[in-house]
Structure formats: C-alpha cells, structure tokens
A = this chain, B = another copy of it.
Amino acid sequence: MLQEIAEQPEVLRRTIAAERGKVTKLGDFLRQKDIDVIVLVARGSSDNAALFGRYLLEVTTGIPVSLSAPSVFTLYNAKMKLKRALVIGVSQSGEGDDINLVLERAKEAGAFTLGITNEADSTMAKIADETLLIHAGREKSVAATKTYTGQMLHFYMLASAIGDQRLDFHKIPDFADQALELQPKVKHLVERYAFMENCVVVGRGMNYGNSYELALKLMETCYVIAERFSSADFFHGPLAIVERRFPVILFAPAGSTRQSSVDLLNRLHELHADCLTITNDAKISELSSRSLTMPGDIDEFLSPIPFIIPAQLFAAYLSEAKGLDPDAPRSLAKVTKTL
C-alpha cells in the first residue's frame, strides 16, 4: 500500500499523457449531444471517486448528476429513461458484475456509456461505448490508492472537456509530489492515534468524497469505526455523538468551504473534541488539535488529490502502529461480487 501511494505522481503524469487527447475528443462529441443528466455507477473506493466527480461535474458543466443505485437495475429491474443520459461506470478492475449490468441496461435504454477503469481488457472496457484508462499498472493492495486518484484525475479531464471552465489539472502531479513530502510527519503523528477505536471524518464539496475515502481506508486497514459526513450534515443530528476528546478528522482547504470548516472547528472546540485537519489554511491549522499542512497555493478545486495522499499515508502508518498489516485486511478480497 505504501509503495502504491508513492507511485501516484507518476501514475497521474502517465495518465494525463496517454489519455488527454482521447478525453478532449470525447468532450467535443459530448458537447454536441443534448445531455440532460449524468449517471455515475460505482462501488467502494470507485464510488468515493464518483462522489468527487459528482461535485466537479455539476459545478463545472451544470448538468445534474445522479449517483446510481445499482439495485434499481439489478434487484428491481427498473426500465430507466436514459435517452439523453451519459452513464459513467467507474471500477478499478472493470469486473464488478452489478456495475457492468447497469452499463449494459443503460446502453439498451439509449444512453451513451463510458467506462473509467485500470484494466484495458476488462469486461467494462468491452461493454462501454468509450473507455478511459488509468495507467496505474496492476494494483495489488486490497486498499485502493493509486486507482482512486487516477479515477479522480479522469473526472478533471472530462469536466474540462465537457464544461466551459478551465481546470489546471496538469499541476496535480506536482502537488501530489509535495503531498508525499509529508510522509515523515505522518509516520510520527500516527503514534498519537494508536488506540483510536472510532472517529468521524468530515469533508465538504470537492473534498466530500475524500471524507468517505479516508473513512473507508480507516475501516479496511485499521478496523477503526469511522463515520463520514459533510460538515453541513454533521450539524443535523450526528453532532450529538461528540464528547470530550472525540476524534474528528477534517479535510479543510482554503476556498469556498473554508467558513463552514471554521464554524465546525469552533463548535467542536466548545465540545472539547480532538480535531485533526488536512489543510492549507493557517487559521484552520491554528484551530485544530493537530494538522497536516499542505502548500497554500493549491487551489480548492485542485485540492482533492493532494489532500487524500496524507490521509492514505495516515491510514497505512496507523495500521502498522496498531500492529496490523495494511496489505492484509481481514475478511476482504480485492474484487467484490455483488448483485
């Protein structure tokens, strides 16, 4: 897992170089179609990447995005009306039966289908009208890292190609390099959390998917019972679980969500919670019990990939600090079958 985390800047560079042209052409084609809705279909970490993609695509293209519930197709056999839909399957292996079944049904219903996968020869690549590849090499760790950020990168390229907003995604690999420099700091920091049994992970907007992803990594590799919320939803009820020293981990970049992070940190301070932030804002860092601080010039829209990297490192090192092996999570297999 640590090795695959470290490979990310190169995977991102390789993926941009290999896929950029294809995505731009695809964008030109999709801009001419009259697309009314984008449906994203995924499970696990890929679903967390899709959760990020949802925000990015809605904000930059204005097209409403639905995160598909595969059971609507697989268990309830719904006949969906998808004539003016773009349906995007996201899967590391490209072998999730339920995801592929949704793509097949969507195609029959007249949707344009797209696959985002790490495996060029996968079933997904055969089904989808077009496939965007992550050039990550085989991912061996059960806990996905490099394919998660590779999937996110494809959403940047796609959003740039479909929408009118220019996204400087070519900067992301360098930001990822900078994020990896936090490695010694994270390794030291995890000692403090060796006996943490549960926590809440919070993110909002562009970093909402990251809160799900870190929570999943903590569950998979550290067996920490990790809840995930947006800072807005957290105020609607779940805040009641917070007591003195309760651990909260917050993705809190400068930008649109900054004020909401500051408000939450102030409230958590009153409740004597223990707050760890991943941030690039001095004030937020100051309001936190501990923080992992990234360079200030990372724009909020480009923050999700560099911000998840210290979080991935945190999960991997915490697993070791707890005497566990992040590459051998109990009860799990790499490809999960669900229908």
Contact = CB atoms under 8 A, between A and B. Distances in A.
Interface string A72-104: 100110111110110000000000001000000
Interface stretch (A11-19, A22-30, A54-62, A302-310): A54-62
A176 interface: no
B232 A331 contact: no
Nearest to A231: B338
- Of A72, A75, A257, most buried by chain B (CB within 10 Å of CB) is A75
A39 B36 CA distance: 12
Contact of A271 (B76, B216, B237, B331): B331
A327 interface: no
A253 to B, nearest CB: 12
Interface residues of A, number: 66
Interface stretch (A178-186, A218-226, A278-286): A218-226
A271 B44 CA distance: 21
A71 B331 contact: no
A37 interface: yes
Given A69-B54, A225-B227, A243-B223, A62 B44 contact: no
Interface in A220-252: 220-221, 223-225, 227, 230, 232-233, 235-243
Given A78-B59, A331-B240, A332-B237, A232 B71 contact: yes
A339 B65 CA distance: 21
A138 interface: no
A241 B243 CA distance: 22
Copies held by the complex: 2
A232 B74 CA distance: 11
B71 A204 contact: yes
Nearest to A79: B62
A250 to B, nearest CB: 15
Given A71-B205, A76-B256, A219-B241, 20 more contacts: A36-B85, A39-B64, A44-B233, A44-B237, A55-B69, A55-B72, A55-B76, A59-B78, A64-B81, A65-B66, A67-B67, A69-B208, A72-B205, A216-B237, A220-B240, A223-B243, A225-B225, A232-B338, A240-B330, A240-B331
30 contacts: A36-B36, A43-B232, A43-B236, A47-B233, A58-B80, A59-B76, A59-B78, A62-B79, A64-B66, A64-B80, A66-B66, A71-B232, A71-B257, A72-B205, A75-B205, A75-B257, A75-B260, A76-B205, A143-B237, A198-B198, A198-B225, A220-B238, A220-B240, A221-B240, A223-B243, A225-B225, A225-B241, A235-B338, A236-B336, A260-B338
